[in-house]
């Protein structure tokens, strides 16, 4: 048995019980793992549906160009479908999005224009405005417009909702979904509510977005809008695809809680999911006190963790934002444990032999080279040996003639993990400037000592 093309593999994603992160909640908590779609996100479903509906209505013609403002996942679905169906794609996105997501779109041959995040949606530089302009200017173009295109929610009415109903044998009591365009929650909830009007639908929002306040007061409060880190959910306007009538409530989750829960899903459940899955589970934990043992909760996991390698799955990124305050070793703690130690350096003009003798006396195998006190390069024992074996006369030449690229510099807060990745066969140490402005060298030996003392 085979599929005729990759698009036919979209859907029928698994429902997986969460066992650890939600252990303090009553009821059965199930994650709908949308990462098994071929574009690794739930957005494959609506991307294909939008294209097929546009083909049927004649808006998208053979050989046409698909234009969209997308944070990545919708673009991935559109780009994949465009390859199979023979369309060109131009996407606009914001500078907040992971580089991985943008590169993935380019991998499918799509053109991507990156626009500034911190401008109003009606600003001509915004990714919404740029995509609308392109849709007018590019010949034979069709703008998918996932925010207002009803095919988006319809895809989830036709696919996601029925799958959840069947997979839970109609036992679902709660649907928990991060809300961006609103397509997933509105379409799936509409279907499920038709089957059982008592199902509770909880939308997950983020601080900096307008949904929660609008649901509670009917006011689109511009003061609620500010930049946030969480990806995929929350908006600064009201997309037509958010059907507030099928959503019981919105819960806001902080960037920090969303990021940390995203990591916990991998660490505790073995599920490598994206940022909005972490946000949805964190939101469920905030709301979950009202659950009872017979409840069956379905949480949507929209996309895959690989798109967040430089973010939620990067400890330095988490630490820089104050999201992670663990006792992990940093350059500072390595220096503290080692105690004071003068860093020996050689001046560029010093001869190779002089430098070698100095290294021998001090029993060191590598040395930073300075010019007017500034570190500019390095020399290792093997650099000297190789040079002298080739040409013994070099021994009186200045050491700069054989010096190689400097050891990398890190700062005092750099984690031991990061330092370890910087140390390799070409760089057997890193340099760090301490608070008094002195340069210190950290070698593999220092790292091993620091670790063995924990």
Residues annotated as catalytic are 43
How many Å apart are CA 350 and CA 357, to the nearest integer?
11
Using alpha carbons only, give the angle 222, 228, 231 rounded to the nearest 5 degrees. Answer: 115
| 278 is a site residue for ligand PLP (CB under 6 A) | no
| 247 is a site residue for ligand PLP (CB under 6 A) | no
| 311 is a site residue for ligand PLP (CB under 6 A) | no
| 25 is a site residue for ligand PLP (CB under 6 A) | no
Which residues lie across from 15 on neighbouring strands?
Answer: 32
| 233 is a site residue for ligand PLP (CB under 6 A) | yes
| 64 is a site residue for ligand PLP (CB under 6 A) | no
DSSP per-residue string spanning 23-85: TTSSSEEEEEEGGGSTTSBTHHHHHHHHHHHHHHHTSS-TT-EEEEE-SSHHHHHHHHHHHHH
Residues 66-85 that bind ligand PLP (CB under 6 A): 71, 73-74
Using alpha carbons only, give the angle 352, 353, 359 rounded to the nearest 5 degrees. Answer: 90
For 270-288, b where at least 16 C-beta lie within 10 A, e where not — what string? ebbbbbbbbbbbbbbbebb
If the CB atoms of residues 277 and 441 are measured against ligand PLP, the closer one turns out to be: 277
| 11 is a site residue for ligand PLP (CB under 6 A) | no
Of 102, 135, 176, 179, the residue at the interface with ligand PLP (CB under 6 A) is 179
Helix-helix angle 99-107:73-85, to 10 degrees: 0
Q: Which residue in the shown chain puts its C-beta closest to ligand PLP?
A: 232
* Stretch touching ligand PLP by CB under 6 A, among 112-120, 176-184, 206-214, 284-292: 176-184
If the CB atoms of residues 254 and 351 are measured against ligand PLP, the closer one turns out to be: 254
Of 69, 161, 274, 283, the residue at the interface with ligand PLP (CB under 6 A) is 274
Compute how many residues bind ligand PLP; rule: CB under 6 A.
19
Residue 307 CA: distances (Å) to CA of 71, 75, 107, 313, 448: 11, 13, 14, 9, 32
| 415 is a site residue for ligand PLP (CB under 6 A) | no
If the CB atoms of residues 185 and 285 are measured against ligand PLP, the closer one turns out to be: 185
Report the nearest approach of ligand PLP to the CB of residue 98 (Å). 10
Of 94, 98, 168, 276, the residue at the interface with ligand PLP (CB under 6 A) is 276
DSSP 237: S
* Stretch touching ligand PLP by CB under 6 A, among 5-13, 162-170, 227-235, 375-383: 227-235
Other CB atoms within 10 Å distance of the CB of residue 114? 16
DSSP per-residue string spanning 81-109: HHHHHT-EEEEEEETTS-HHHHHHHHHTT
If the CB atoms of residues 33 and 450 are measured against ligand PLP, the closer one turns out to be: 33
Residue ranges in contact with ligand PLP by CB under 6 A: 43, 71, 73-74, 178-185, 231-233, 274, 276, 302-303
């Amino acid at each position: 048995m085979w599929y005729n093309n990759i698009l036919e593999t979209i859907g029928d994603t698994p429902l997986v019980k969460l066992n650890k992160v939600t252990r303090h909640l009553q009821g059965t908590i199930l994650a709908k793992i949308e990462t098994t779609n071929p574009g690794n996100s739930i957005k494959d479903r609506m991307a294909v549906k939008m294209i097929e509906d546009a083909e049927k209505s004649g808006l998208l013609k053979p050989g046409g160009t698909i234009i969209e403002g997308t944070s990545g996942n919708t673009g991935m679905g559109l780009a994949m479908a465009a390859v199979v169906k023979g369309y060109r794609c131009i996407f606009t996105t914001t500078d907040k999005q992971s580089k991985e997501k943008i590169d993935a779109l380019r991998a499918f041959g799509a053109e991507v224009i990156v626009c500034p995040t911190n401008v109003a949606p009606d600003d001509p530089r915004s990714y919404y405005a740029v995509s609308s302009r392109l849709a007018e200017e590019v010949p034979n173009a069709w703008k998918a417009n996932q925010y207002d295109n009803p095919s988006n929610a319809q895809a989830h009415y036709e696919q996601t909702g029925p799958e959840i109903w069947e997979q839970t044998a109609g036992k679902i009591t709660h649907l928990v979904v991060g809300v961006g365009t609103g397509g997933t929650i509105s379409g799936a909830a509409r279907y499920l509510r038709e089957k059982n009007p008592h199902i509770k639908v909880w939308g997950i929002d983020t601080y900096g977005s307008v949904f929660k306040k609008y649901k509670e007061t009917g006011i689109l409060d511009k003061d609620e809008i500010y930049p946030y880190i969480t990806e995929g959910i929350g908006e600064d306007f009201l997309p037509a695809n958010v059907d507030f009538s099928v959503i019981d409530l919105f819960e806001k989750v902080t960037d920090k809680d969303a990021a940390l829960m995203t990591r916990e899903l991998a660490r505790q459940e073995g599920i490598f999911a994206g940022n909005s899955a972490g946000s949805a589970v964190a939101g469920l934990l905030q709301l979950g006190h009202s659950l009872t043992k017979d409840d069956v909760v379905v949480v949507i996991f929209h996309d895959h963790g690989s798109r967040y390698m430089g973010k939620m799955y990067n400890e330095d990124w988490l630490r820089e934002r104050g999201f992670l305050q663990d006792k992990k070793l940093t350059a500072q703690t390595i220096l503290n444990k080692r105690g004071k130690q003068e860093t020996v350096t050689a001046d560029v003009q010093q001869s190779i032999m002089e430098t070698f003798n100095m290294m021998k006396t001090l029993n060191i195998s590598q040395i930073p080279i300075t010019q007017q006190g500034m570190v500019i390069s390095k020399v290792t024992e093997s650099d000297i040996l190789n040079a002298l074996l080739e040409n013994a006369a070099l021994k009186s030449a200045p050491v700069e003639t054989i010096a190689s690229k400097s050891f990398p510099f890190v700062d005092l807060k750099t984690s031991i993990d990061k330092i370890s990745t910087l140390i390799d066969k070409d760089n057997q140490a890193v340099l760090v400037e301490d608070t008094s402005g002195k340069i210190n060298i950290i070698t593999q030996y220092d790292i091993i000592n620091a670790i063995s003392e924990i």
